Amino acid sequence: MALRPSPNHDVIVGSREETKAIATCDLCRASLEERDLACGLLGVTNQRAVDEADVVVLAIPFKHVAPTLKALTGFEEKIVISPVNPIERTTYFYYAPPPEGSAAMMIRGMLPASAVVCAAFNNIAANKWKVLGEELDYSVAVCCDDGEAKQKVMEIVNSISNLRAYYAGPLAAASIVESVTPLLLNIARFNKLRDVGVKFA
């Protein structure tokens, strides 16, 4: 996910192992340089990423959210973006939210009161972030309880490729947005499509 926003934003990539974050940044930088695109990328530990960022994107699988957040501090006054979707799979994909009702609401409950959580980027296939030769021509639903944070997140969304942000209501509505992702996965799987997304016309 770091690849697309880095030409327009300073992006700090965090990992439990700093060497992995550095390697990710090196790969992203090489891809961008092939297209003569400048970028701001820095690979660090997860804790340093939180400490130095104004906006934190939790681009991790749902099963890693709780242990990752429990190991980190310093989220006070930060905007935290959750693209996390709690999904399970049997013969099909289905939405499997935590007791809080959504991943975003669970994250909200794990962070300091001064942190602001916004759900965004939930319905974009991971593969699409990596293909620089294709435009990201999708709609992005944003759920947030804070007006200033919502505006900041929507500005970030709109700065990436052809993405367009739409306000989708308070954070309590994030379950609706998250539950669209297993729908898209099922449509792709059962109709032999790839990387199905959402676009509002």
29-59 pLDDT, tens per residue?
A: 898 888 888 888 999 999 999 999 999 999 9
pLDDT of residue 132: 82
Poorest-pLDDT segment among 11-25, 76-90, 125-139, 165-179: 125-139
**pTM, two decimal places:** 0.94
What is the rounded average pLDDT for all residues in the chain? 95
pLDDT at residue 171 is higher than 90: yes
Q: Contact, 142 vs 150, CB < 8 A?
A: yes
Q: Does domain 54-190 have CATH number 3.40.50.720?
A: yes
